[in-house]
Amino acid sequence: MIERVIRWSRKKSPWILHLNSGACNACDIEIVAALTPRFDLERLGVLLRATPRHADVIIASGPVTRQMKDRIIRIYEQTPDPKFVVAVGACAMSGCVYRGAYNVYGGLDQVIPVNVYIPGCPVRPDAILNGVVNLLNTL
């Protein structure tokens, strides 16, 4: 019973943290665009939080740069359980055009576990919406 209540509450209001792990900003503005009136993720109870300690879902964009790697792991560890990671964009999936660059690991899953991948360069806000809904359906 209690477990069902917890699951229900998690489903209803996932708070997200936007993490830029070295992206070119395109996915980041599309994430913000998904939260603003045209697409309005907030109507699904999604709220953008500024600190990892308040967040349930980390929405990360970008190939992981060497300088950010330790920070990303730290941010992941600071996020309370249960936590989910959404890799937004081709960079967070595999490195996109930066694949092979000397300062890039290429893909978020090289550093932290990822639950949902959303393809696109950059991802369209509707795709982000779809990704978040898919994530909620797995709970």
Partner 1 sequence: MKFNIPIGPQHPALKEPISIRLSVEGEVIRDADLRLGYNHRGVEKLAEEKSYIQNIYLCERICGICSHSHSTCFVQGAEKLLEIEPPRRGVYIRYLVSELERVHSHLLWLGVAGHEAGFDTFFMYTWRDREIVMDLLEMISGNRVHYAINTLGGVRRDIDGPLKQKIFDGLAVLRERSEYYLKIGSSEPTFVARLAGVGRLTKQQAMDLCATGPTAKASGVALDVRKDDPHDFYDEVEFDVVTSDLCDVLGRTVVRIKEVLESYKICEQILRKLPDGPIAVKSPRRAKPGEVVSRYEAPRGENIHYIIANGTEKPERLKVRAPTLGNYAATIEMLRHGFIADVPLIFAAIDPCICCAERSVEMVDARSGEERTYRFSDLRRMANERARTLPLQRNVAWPL
Q: Are 73 and 41 in contact (CB under 8 A)?
A: no
Angle at 112 between CA 110 and CA 115, to 5 degrees: 105
CA–CA distance, 33 with 23 (Å, rounded to integer): 16
Q: Give 14 or 30: the residue with its C-beta nearer to partner 1.
A: 30
Q: Which of residues 23-82 bind partner 1 (CB under 8 A)?
A: 23-30, 32-33, 36-38, 50-52, 62-63, 65, 67-68, 70-71, 75
The SS3 assignment for 88 reads strand
Stated length of the chain: 139
CA–CA distance, 46 with 37 (Å, rounded to integer): 13
Q: Give 104 or 114: the residue with its C-beta nearer to partner 1.
A: 104
Binding test (CB under 8 A) with partner 1, winner from 6, 73, 121, 133? 121
Told to check if 118 binds partner 1 by CB under 8 A, we report no
DSSP letters of 90-119? Answer: HHHHH-GGGTT-TTB--SGGGTS--SEEE-
Q: Give 26 or 136: the residue with its C-beta nearer to partner 1.
A: 26
Q: How many residues bind partner 1 (CB under 8 A)?
A: 40
Binding test (CB under 8 A) with partner 1, winner from 4, 43, 102, 138? 102
My answer on whether omega of the bond before 82 falls inside 30° of 0, hence cis, is yes
Contacts to partner 1 by CB under 8 A: 18-30, 32-33, 36-38, 50-52, 62-63, 65, 67-68, 70-71, 75, 96-98, 100-104, 121-122, 124
